[in-house]
Amino acid sequence: MRKFFSKITIKTVAVFTAATLLCVFQAVGVDLIIVERIIAGIVLIALARYFKSAAIAVFIAFIIPLFYLPVGLEYGSPAPGYIAAVFETDPSETAEFLSIVPVRDFFYILVLIILLAFALFFNRGGITTVTSTPLRNRRGKIVALVLIIILLFFGSIPYRFYRLVYKSYAAYADLISKAETTPINDFEIIKRSDALEKDVRVVVIGESVRKDYLSVYGYPHKTTPFLDGANGIFIDTLIAAGPSTMTSLSRTLTAKENERIDWSRTVVTLGAQTGYETYWLSNSGFAGKTSTAVSLIASQSDRMIFLNARGGVEAGAKDDFEFLAKFDEILKNETLKNDRKTPKLIFIHMAGSHSPACNRLHGFANRFDLPYGKEHNCYLASIEKLDSFIKALVDEMSAQKLSWSLIYFSDHGQGHYENNKEIGLRHGGSAKQGYEVPLFLLDSAATEHVVIKRRISGLRLIDLFASWLGVNTDKTDPRYTFSDFPEDLNITTQNGAYDDLADDPALY
């Protein structure tokens, strides 16, 4: 045996494969300590060294997961949400994403590619020319090739990576096809309270806003001066139904049938059924593959206005303040039905605080100067911008002497990341704060500022929404109202039990 494994080759293969495998494991977020997978990988690489074509095949199989490294290091193994992100992302957003990936990560990829090439190809000729190797005879060769194929397709790291990607893609495709083929169905309205009728109801859907950065939720720097003193109900805490826009909103804005999303019954269809003229204003992109699931819900409304019509998601986003002129216009436009003014239900899907937060400011003054870097200060400013945006909506409705009610929630929170000693925020489902978002109700009839310290799941928003509209339906739970609801104690997130998630507290 010693004869055909020269010392240097054994050492090279062992050291380089072990190093590469450990790094690849970490890169793709596949559970790090699975000994059999590491062994399977080492055997695979060692065997592949004997056959040129196998070595090339194994090299390609390993190299693709390596490019997942920057994502894997931050977010873990592939999940449907990330596949959605890939499909819903336009090139300029990809450029934005890559700009926040540390240069260090690209360096890792390069080093790993070199290590992998070394493990597979270094001194390959040296061993293959040794005549006594059992792999020289035909039987040995066949056994080795069969082993390579088995290892490549079952149980090894590349196999596990590709399987995860495929499963995530299948889940995403399934979601989209359901969204696209579903008709509109009615809720059965069991009870209705006309006392709750308003001239206008507004649902503001925030983007990437975690609640602990709002001073109204206790952040020590004044990020929400208007909300701090506004009359209404502030719920502490809403746990978002997903760590990314689509996973969260598709589960938040729809009724559920046996815990599955019922695309035929949504907040928009319920609003229309209750007698409201429905509007969907979005700064989040429409058309094609872009946020199809949310676009489907939007398309159920009477009128859609997309600020960002070219179809990109947040990268093509305009200034959220551009909503204000459209909002005024909608309020002033009276629609009569049977000689009565039709009440309006207006959804506004903001670009909010989506990373990079500095791109959301569009000239809004940034008066924050905390020591964590530009991105972090921009994030704080984007929260203050949200505060003034809500104030502007409220001021306009009051100026037009309308009776109104407004709810706000964010689709998901954010996690911190560090880049060149500066802190920024981006999607992060691994910590509680990736899910903890603000939820509040402001109302023209409200006379006090109420805080409800009780946990509620994002899946319950449809229930709150129905009671807010003043209806009790066959698909919603009437126990959930803004002033009172049962606490949701066992909330499961896409990253496991909410209670088990890590803590990533706000910096101040």
Q: Given the complex with Zn ion, which of 72 and 285 has the nearer CB atom?
A: 285
Task: Give the nearest distance from C-beta 265 to Zn ion in angstroms.
Answer: 23
Q: What is the SS3 assignment for 452? A: strand
Q: How far is the CB of 208 from Zn ion (least distance, A)?
A: 5
Residue of minimal CB distance from Zn ion?
A: 245
251, 224, 149: which is closest to 449 by C-alpha?
A: 224
**Among 413, 411, 460, 454, which residue's Cα sits nearest to residue 435?**
413
What's the min distance (Å) between Cβ of 314 and Zn ion?
A: 8
Least distance (Å) between residue 248 CB and Zn ion: 7
Q: DSSP assignment of 322-374, as one string?
A: GHHHHHHHHHH---EETTEEPPEEEEEE--TTPSSGGGG-TT-------TT-H
Write down the least CB distance from residue 333 to Zn ion, Å.
30
**Smallest gap, in angstroms, from Cβ of residue 411 to Zn ion?**
4
Indicate the residue among 245 and 473 with the shorter CB distance to Zn ion.
245
Nearer to Zn ion, 343 or 413 (CB): 413
Q: Least distance in Å: CB of 25 to Zn ion?
A: 29
User: Which is closer to Zn ion, CB of 88 or CB of 411?
Assistant: 411
**Cβ-contact 240, 437 below 8 angstroms:** yes
* Residue nearer to Zn ion on the CB measure, 84 or 345: 84
> What is the secondary structure of 184-249 as a DSSP string?
--PPPEEEE-GGG--SEEEEEEESS--GGGSGGGT-SS-S-HHHHH--EEEEEEEE-S-SSHHHHH
φ, ψ dihedrals at 365, nearest 5°: -65, 130
Interacting residue ranges for Zn ion, rule: CB under 5 A: 207, 245, 411
**Contact between residue 308 and residue 285 where contact means Cβ atoms under 8 Å apart:** yes
User: Nearer Cβ to Zn ion, position 232 or 424?
Assistant: 424
The nearer residue to Zn ion, 199 or 411, going by C-beta atoms, is 411
